[in-house]
Structure 1
């Protein structure tokens, strides 16, 4: 078990003149630089980019469907680092309603977990193949009101790491918290981000 050192990579449009901030959370075995490359395929050229880096390229050791205690203290450390990344964006002048989130796989799970634990009117969020974290959902962790925050959640069916049932459960939870959720399942899609998903993200979140 491990805690994460504070490493936050920045890029994209200079924060001083950017119109929004995008916090990008990479997947297991990947890096901050990897997830930031996706920005080239999205309508985010006017956004400042922030990407925290996981120690040893993994945010927590086991499946997101494992008991939460099994993934501690790494999970708590990860959520703290995402919070520090949000604080950096705020310090750079962005209000919550101009802060966006995006993650893939392990990063998508964390995107949903962080925003659900800190719900307010954000700019928007994209979770490419992920769900809320835990063997069962502990809904006492989730409070606040998204106030119509647009959220895109996509997944493949079947996916080797993320059961569709948990994605559906996560969608229901976010809707209860007043998120405006777009949900799309791609049959037989491998564990990746497709161009169709990138296009949908531009149509629903990065308008």
Structure 2
């Protein structure tokens, strides 16, 4: 197996061409999804002036096991997935505060984990049905602060894939580093993207 199972995978683009766009949105699909799927969500957000970039996981899966299991069980896929996000962010050619990360399910976990580990102050971080990764959460980059960085966490209270406790722990971690966190919790066991989340994300992206 390659040291990076996601090496050489496509990076799909839509919206304003990179290099011309003043803002960019990196979109991360969930397990069994695709870059094309998540680009469709980006189009549904309909925020003007954004380059949309979506890397694609090998086999449609960023990592093979549940996100709350020990990180070592999800290697080398997880490190490869983080590298794919890093490459997509670099491909925007924009400063961090003009780049937003948005992911659903596995992609939400990946977006949140990338932002947390990197300590970079992105324009927005949007995790829809996800939380930070691992049985024990990684420490933030020493000295990093997320003062004022908008973070959106949206999830069902009874999501069978995402424990509510992990969503709340993720909220606590980002708030503890100064992020401006909006948490939207919904009744029922729905695992998908709600129109309320779309509205919240659209407003957040519009402020970049």
Bin the TM-score by the shorter chain.
over 0.9
Matches within 5 A, 1:1-207: 3-6=5-8, 7-90=10-93, 94-139=94-139, 144-207=144-207
Distance in 1 between residues matched to 2:25 and 2:185, nearest whole Å: 24
Distance in 1 between residues matched to 2:82 and 2:142, nearest whole Å: 14
Residue 16 of structure 1: SS of its match in structure 2? coil
Q: Structure 1: which 5+ runs fail to align? A: none
Deviation at 1:11, TM superposition (A): 1.0
Map Cα deviations across residues 23-65 of structure 1 (whole Å, 9 max, x no partner): 0000000000000001222142310011000000000000001
Aligned length: 204
Deviation at 1:76, TM superposition (A): 0.5
The 8 Å contact of residues 126 and 205 in structure 1, kept in 2 or not, is answered as no
Change (3 A) 1:142 1:23: farther
Deviation at 1:202, TM superposition (A): 1.7
Change (3 A) 1:44 1:140: closer
TM-score (norm 2): 0.92
Distance in 1 between residues matched to 2:98 and 2:132, nearest whole Å: 23
The 8 Å contact of residues 126 and 152 in structure 2, kept in 1 or not, is answered as yes
The 8 Å contact of residues 182 and 204 in structure 1, kept in 2 or not, is answered as no
Residue 206 of structure 2: SS of its match in structure 1? coil
TM-score (norm 1): 0.93
- How big is the alpha-carbon RMSD for the aligned residues of Structure 1 and Structure 2? 1.6
Distance in 1 between residues matched to 2:19 and 2:74, nearest whole Å: 37
Residue 196 of structure 2: SS of its match in structure 1? helix
